[in-house]
Structure 1
Amino acid sequence: MVTPRQAAAAVVDPELQVLTIEELGILRDVRVDGERVTVTITPTYTGCPAMDVIRADVQDALRAAGYRDVAVETVFAPAWTTDWISDSGRAKLAAAGIAPPHRAGPVRLALSVRCPLCGSPDTEQLSRFGSTACKSLWRCRACAEPFDHVKAL
């Protein structure tokens, strides 16, 4: 039987469909109290429009795994950070042509983002907003391909 954690962790993010909510780092906790399963999630930002879909998908995944009494709670503190994206999640983003964000640490001067397709640093930002509000749109000057970049938060 699939555990509640496994069922919740397998839910795919509706906006970054190459990642699960666990890889994205928004799955915070899964608690079982008798028959009740409570899943805690944190949005990537306060106004994230995908949270209703994620909440419903988590409930559906747990119910499909045989858990009937399911609650999904949203917590805002501590606030989500791109540092919570797992290493496998970062690799999947790059493999899908989406530039993963840099990890936190010393403030870095970033004049460009490396192309996830060819690795070239010769890129330009086309728009501060990409296919979703949490991504920006870039183009590689070396291979001429456009790509999304997950904004560092």
Structure 2
Amino acid sequence: MAAIPHPEPSALAAARGLPDLAEVRRIAGAVCDPEIPVLSIEDLGVLRDVRYSDGHIEIVITPTYSGCPAMNMIALEIELALAKAGFDHVKVVTVLSPAWTTDWMSEEGRAKLRDYGIAPPSRAAGRRALFGRDEVACPRCGSTSTSLLAEFGSTSCKALWRCEACREPFDYFKCH
């Protein structure tokens, strides 16, 4: 007996008059962070969920910091991107728990940060415990001979560091 082909989830959603949530996620996820425009909210791990509930498309986002000033702009940009793509009845929901962590950042996002001149957050939690701070590599020359200049950089999620090898200052996206 031949297997009966099953329609793709997007085809089922369309047949039921529901939005294609994979497409919604692709569009919403492509929205850029206004403070670091080389990163999308998908790269950052800020986009947590996309669902259909009570006649609305709900986009769930979590800020990198609970007081992040970029969240209102991100929500607006999500609504605009989805409206432009023809999706109506969009609701952006901000959730604070669980708190965002740099572990949610994609590897592609970390590489984009480095290429942009911002040191990505360290994944070496053991090194942090050993040395009492993150081991931060310079995004320009790769040296780990670096020093902290200020706990806060151009935004509250970054710290200002200097490379002792090439002497260049740079932002470091803080771990949390």
Same fold (TM over 0.5): yes
RMSD: 1.9
Which residue does 2:98 correspond to in 1? Answer: 78
1:10 aligns with 2:30: yes
Amino-acid identity (%): 54
Per chain length, whose mean CA-contact separation is higher, i.e. which structure has more relative contact order (CA < 8 Å, sep 6+)?
1
Q: Unpaired segments of 5 or more residues in structure 1?
A: none
Aligned-partner residue type, residue 149 of structure 1? Y
Q: 1:89 pairs with 98, 104, 109, which one?
A: 109
1:119 aligns with 2:173: no
1:83–1:104 contact (8 Å) kept in structure 2: no
For the residues of structure 1 that align with 2:81 and 2:134, how far apart are their CA atoms? Answer: 41
Aligned-partner residue type, residue 98 of structure 2? P
For the residues of structure 2 that align with 1:50 and 1:111, how far apart are their CA atoms? Answer: 25
> Could you tell me the TM-score, scaled by structure 1's length?
0.92
Q: Which has the larger radius of gyration?
A: 2
1:60 aligns with 2:83: no
Q: 2:56 pairs with 28, 36, 53, which one?
A: 36
Q: 1:136 pairs with 156, 159, 169, which one?
A: 159
Which residue does 1:50 correspond to in 2? Answer: 70
2:122–2:134 contact (8 Å) kept in structure 1: no
Aligned-partner residue type, residue 72 of structure 2? D
Runs of 4+ in 1 over 3 A off after TM superposition: 104-108
Aligned-partner residue type, residue 167 of structure 2? A
Q: Unpaired segments of 5 or more residues in structure 2?
A: 1-19
Q: What's the CA shift for 1:108? A: 4.3
Aligned-partner residue type, residue 10 of structure 1? A
Which residue does 2:171 correspond to in 1? Answer: 148
Deviation sequence 1:50-73 (CA, Å, 0-9, x none): 111111011111111111211000
> Could you tell me the TM-score, scaled by structure 2's length?
0.81
